[in-house]
Amino acid sequence: MFDLRVDEIPLPASKKNRDNLISWIIDTLCLHRRRGENAADDGTYSPIHRILSEHLFLDASRGYETRDLANDLGLTTAAIHHHFSRLVSAGLVSTSSGKGWKKYYLVGGSITKAIASMKVRANLIHSQRLEMIDEVWNRGKKVAMAIELPPDGKPSALIRIKEWGPLEDGESELSRFMADMGLLGERPGKEIASDSLSVRIFEMLLNSGPPISIDEAAKELDGPKARVGRILERFRATGLVERVARTDRLSTALWSAMTTQNMRRGEDWLLKKGGFERLSVPNSLLKNLKKGNCTPDTVEKALKGMEAREQMLLLNLLGGRLPLGHRLVGMDVSMMKQKSIDNLDRIIRKIEKVGKMLSQ
C-alpha cells in the first residue's frame, strides 16, 4: 500500500555533499524519526542511510536481498526488511517475486525515475483523497471576516498521502481520512475512533465559518484546553488549517483596551496618545467610559461609521491585541484542496531537485 509522509524542511546548505543530500531525502520522506541535534555522525551511519548511500543509490541497476545487506550492515534480516518496507510504501523501491529471496530495487532503475514515479502516484492519490472534503464541507458562504489579515506564521507542511483502505471497527470515513492525511499524527491510536476529540474538533472546523479559539473548542467539546491546543497545532502542520487574528472580535478587543487604559492612564491619555482625537472617536465613548457602562456592543455601535482599518489602528494605539483562532484554509472547498495540492507540489519539486543532484 502506498503510504508516503513528506516533511517540508529547508534544502541542504551544501549541494555537493552527497551524505547531506541523502540525509535530507531521509528526513523529508520521514524514513526514520528525526535525529537529535547532538548526533555525532549526523545520521550518516544509520541503517537507512547506509542502505541508500552504499547500495541503492550507489548502484541503482541491481536488486538487493535482505540477507546480503544484513551481513554487510551487521543487522538482522527483519531490521533490513523494515527499512525496505518504508521505502516500498513511499513508492521509491519495488520488489521482484521469484525463486528464493525477494530482491529490492529502485523503481525505474534510477533515482530520478523512482522520484518521478513517486510523484505521479502521490499527486493522484492525494487529489483522490481530498475529494472527501466535498462531502463534509459545511462552512457556508460567510467565511471571510471584515478585515482579513495574513495567517499567523506558516509552519512547514507535514503531509501524509495514503491509499484508501476499508474501514475497521470504530472508524468512520472522516476519521480514516484524517488519519490518512496526517491530521491524527504518526500513530493515531484511539484518536482514529469516530467520536474522538480530534475528529470532533475537525467537525467543528468543517461547520464553522469564523475562526475557532482554543477556549471555544475546549468549552464546547469539554476537552482539556492544553490538549485541544496541541490538536489544532497538529492540524495546522498539515497545511489544511491556519491560525489567524480574530478580527471578528475587534469590538471586544477595543473595549478591553479602552477600559484598561482609561483606568491606568485616564481620559487625557486616551485623547492624545490613545488616538481618540487623531481618529475622531465619538465623544459618547468617553462618556460611557466615565460612567462605567461601556460594553463591547457600545463600542461596536459608536465606531460603526469608522473604517475597519482605522479601528485596527486605534487598537494598536491603545496597545491592545487581537485573539487568535484556527480555521480551515481557503474561502471555499476548491481553494482548500488547491492549497493542499500546492503544498505537496512544492515539497516534491525540492525532492526532484535533490534527486537530480544525487544522480549527477
> Domains in the chain, ordered, with CATH?
3-118 (1.10.10.10), 144-245 (no CATH), 249-317 (no CATH)
CB 159, CB 343: distance < 8 Å: yes
Predicted pLDDT of residue 38: 46
Q: Which pLDDT tens digits describe the chain residue by residue (360 residues)? A: 899 999 999 998 877 888 999 999 999 999 876 544 445 455 677 889 989 998 899 888 888 888 888 888 888 888 888 898 999 999 999 988 766 678 899 999 999 999 999 999 999 999 999 999 999 999 887 788 888 888 887 777 899 999 998 998 889 999 999 999 999 988 888 999 999 999 999 999 999 988 999 999 999 999 999 999 999 999 999 999 999 998 889 999 999 999 999 999 998 999 989 999 999 889 888 888 988 889 999 999 999 888 888 998 999 999 998 889 999 998 899 999 999 999 999 999 999 999 999 988
Torsion angle of alpha carbons 103, 107, 109, 111, nearest 10°?
-120
Burial (CB count within 10 angstroms: exposed 0-12, middle 13-18, buried 19+), residue 15: exposed
Nearest-10 crossing angle of helices 225-237, 197-206: 60
Provide the b/e sequence for 271-283 (b: ≥16 CB within 10 Å). eeebbbeeeebee
What is the rounded CA–CA span in Å between residue 21 and residue 12?
A: 7
CB 227, CB 210: distance < 8 Å: no
Residues 6+ apart with CB under 8 A from 261: 269, 270, 274, 318, 319
CB 286, CB 276: distance < 8 Å: yes
DSSP SS3 for 2: coil
Predicted pLDDT of residue 40: 47
Residue 105 phi, psi dihedral angles, 5° rounding? -150, 160
CB 239, CB 339: distance < 8 Å: yes
C-alpha cell at 198: 480530534
Q: Which run of H or E residues covers position 105?
A: strand 103-106
Predicted pLDDT of residue 188: 87
What is the rounded CA–CA span in Å between residue 337 and residue 341?
A: 6
CB 280, CB 241: distance < 8 Å: no
Burial (CB count within 10 angstroms: exposed 0-12, middle 13-18, buried 19+), residue 92: buried
Residue 286 phi, psi dihedral angles, 5° rounding? -65, -40
Predicted pLDDT of residue 102: 82
DSSP SS3 for 242: strand
